[in-house]
Amino acid sequence: MLVSSETEVLLFRHAPKGGPGGALSPEGHDLARQVGFNELAPHIEKLPQDAVVLMMPVSNALRTRETMADLETGLNAAHLPDVTMIDMPQVIEDRKQTGQTTDIRSVRTWLTEQIAQKPNQKIVIHLPLEMAQLSISKSEYLSLDEHVSPYAAYNDSLQDNQALDWLTAAAEVQENGVAFDGPNPQLVANEVLTTVDRAIDFVNRQAPTDLSHRPVCVVMVGHSWSIDAAVATALNGGKFNAAAVEKLHGSMINPAEFASFTINGDQVTTQYRGQQAQSPIFWR
């Protein structure tokens, strides 16, 4: 199976947490559903009629999985014409309840048939898949001598003003040629965007049919800090420095906000808050 040479990626930040175990707050659930209805649905409506949308990569945090599910709920509520929604976890559960087999071959055959029956209809496939590159963990924020840097503590509390401090300080230190006590934003950006390749590779290995002739859009949900590093770097031609930080205009990504990355061959076009930049793919 091959994926279309042009792939669009929508990278969302999760909605606000506040529930038990890092779950979304009631307000967070509402926000994600509203974004699914008011922003994701119109975006998908504008895609080519035969597009396939993969609502797939999330981090290991509950709030990213819940955000993805709420985005889908809002999208469903929009009742877009000529769009088929396939919720793979629900499909598998339904097959179990009706005594049908749920092995990978059987499910793949079923999905192949669903896609083949709708060659000119948009298909949205919900398949939450945890990917480590989207996760936030303290191990990623250790300095070289493995003590926890101040930015690890900041990251754990997810305070945006301190995230901007991290990017600014890292850029200043970089220009001065001094070792920085914290994560390297360039490496963080590269790691986040390798998720794109891993998601496409997963589709190449697991998806049931040839999608090379159909436009593909991948929806992902991750975390601020990492997404901010990725957006700033991508908007700056793939290089993190002080000019990259300026692309954020002093404001980190908002809850349930997203950036768009369109990959075509060896080029990526990044769109975020009215800004657009094209550069060679820099994370490979």
CATH, residue 270? 3.40.50.1240
pLDDT attached to residue 209 = 55
Residue 53 in any domain: the answer is yes
pLDDT of 232-265, one tens digit each? 999 999 999 999 999 999 899 999 999 999 998 8
pLDDT of 25-79, one tens digit each? 999 999 999 999 999 999 999 999 988 898 988 888 899 999 999 999 999 999 9
pLDDT attached to residue 1 = 40
Residue 57 in any domain: the answer is yes
Residue 79 in any domain: the answer is yes
255 class by beta-carbon count within 10 Å (0-12 exposed, 13-18 middle, 19+ buried) = buried
pLDDT attached to residue 111 = 81
pLDDT of 148-190, one tens digit each? 666 766 666 656 667 788 899 889 887 777 777 778 899 889 9
pLDDT of 132-150, one tens digit each? 778 776 555 555 555 666 6
- Would you say residue 122 has pLDDT above 80? yes
The domain containing residue 156 runs over which residues?
Answer: 6-280
How far, in Å, CA of 94 to CA of 72, rounded? 18
Residue 244 in any domain: the answer is yes
pLDDT of 191-234, one tens digit each? 889 888 887 777 666 555 556 677 889 999 998 888 999 999 99
Mean pLDDT for all residues in the chain: 85
Query: What's the first-to-final CA gap in the chain, in angstroms?
Result: 21
Residue 70 in any domain: the answer is yes
3-state percent helix, strand, coil for the chain, nearest multiple of 5: 45, 20, 30
pTM of the model: 0.89
Residue 137 in any domain: the answer is yes
pLDDT attached to residue 261 = 94
Closest CA to 179 of 170, 188, 187, 166: 170
Q: Tokens 């926000």: give the residue.
A: 31
How far, in Å, CA of 56 to CA of 36, rounded? 15
pLDDT attached to residue 66 = 96
Closest CA to 183 of 150, 217, 218: 150
Kindly list the distances between the CA atom of residue 114 and the CA atoms of 109, 110, 125, 208, 278, in Å, as whole numbers in the listed order.
9, 6, 11, 10, 35
Alpha-helical (H) ranges within the chain are: 26-35, 41-45, 62-77, 88-97, 104-116, 150-157, 160-176, 185-206, 226-235, 242-246
Kindly list the distances between the CA atom of residue 196 and the CA atoms of 36, 83, 92, 95, 162, in Å, as whole numbers in the listed order.
21, 24, 25, 30, 27
Domain total of the chain:
1
Which residue has better confidence, 37 or 7?
37
Residue 1 in any domain: the answer is no
Identify the H or E element spanning 138.
none
Which residue has better confidence, 110 or 205?
110
- Would you say residue 5 has pLDDT above 70? no
Residue 20 in any domain: the answer is yes
Chain Cα centroid distance, residue 209: 23
Percent of the chain with pLDDT over 90: 47
